[in-house]
Amino acid sequence: MAIIREMFKKNKKRYMTIPSEASKDVPEGLMTKCPECKSIVLTKDLMKCDKVCPDCGHHYKMTAYERVDCLFDDETFIPMDEGMKTVNPLGFPSYEEKVNADAEKTGLNEAVLTGIGEIDGQRTAVAIMDSHFRMGSMGSVVGEKITRAIEKATDEEIPFVIFTASGGARMQEGVLSLMQMAKTSVALSRHADRGLLFISVMTHPTTGGVSASFASVGDINLAEPKALIGFAGRRVIEQTVREKLPEDFQTAEFLMEHGQLDAVVHRSEMKKTLSTLIRFHTKEAR
């Protein structure tokens, strides 16, 4: 009897292999449903095309390590400062526990992965932010790691590329987080003084203090399609101006239209684009 009742239960889960809405950007099931066009693809096919939906071109969020695989020549990437650890300077309850849990989940020590690798044989320093780690928010460790990557690039006289993905400053570290915006800026100023190239690639989402510092001041500013990029949150703006904002507000395309970006680059073209830009800025090319 119980079995029959179970069979006719109305709210029975129907697609057992499809991940729920909540985990839509972490394809781990066999199949993945695109949050944009709702089409369903085999997860392994999705991974083959750099986590871009083959039907509508939706760019899924990527982890920092996935980006390393897409970007650098095989086995050339050497990470930096992987042992640096976040402390709890303001004594916020359970802050370190939350950071540790995300470290466990992502395999990163903080919300950015930094290091040096080769893009078509061209040595490049990189910082890749990962929004799976505390929303990619920037505290002392993120600021310090990025600063050291910039300084390494300055010392070696090589280009610096950053992939941003961040909700902004890390609340739990208060004004120390805010000051990371200034710290990374003084390092970038030195890098620029040496005539070195800095490319910023804004990915979904790039907002708040990260958008209002290094993300926006590349010699060349690129973005991935449809990425959310902005200073203030949409809800905050709607409350302030009391008007409905356009659908595409704060998307990469919106920024493009308003002259805030050099180009929107599809993920499949990213390595080629970066490689070409870097080649134009080598000493030999100049």
Binding residues for Zn(2+): 34, 37, 53, 56
Q: Is 56 in the site for other proteins (CB under 8 A)?
A: no
Mask 220-259, x = binds other proteins (CB under 8 A)?
---------xxxxx--xx--xx-x-x---xx-------xx
CB of 141 to other proteins, least distance (A): 5
Q: What is the Cα–Cα distance from 162 to 215, expressed in whole angstroms?
A: 8
Nearest to 149 by CA among 195, 89, 196: 196
Element (H, E) at 102: helix 95-106
4-13 long-range contacts, CB within 8 A, separation 24+: none
Tokens 């916020």 label which residue? 92
257-286 residues near other proteins, rule: CB under 8 A: 258-260
CB of 286 to other proteins, least distance (A): 22
Give the bridge partners for 116, in sequence order: 78, 125
Q: Is 15 in the site for other proteins (CB under 8 A)?
A: no
| Pair 178, 169: CB distance under 8 Å | yes
132-191 residues near other proteins, rule: CB under 8 A: 140-141, 143-144, 147, 169, 171-183, 185-190
Determine if the peptide bond prior to 93 is cis (ω within 30°): no
89-118 residues near other proteins, rule: CB under 8 A: 89-90, 92, 109
**What letter does residue 228 receive in the DSSP assignment?**
B
Give the residues lining the site for other proteins (CB under 8 A): 79-87, 89-90, 92, 109, 140-141, 143-144, 147, 169, 171-183, 185-190, 192-193, 208-209, 211-217, 229-233, 236-237, 240-241, 243, 245, 249-250, 258-260
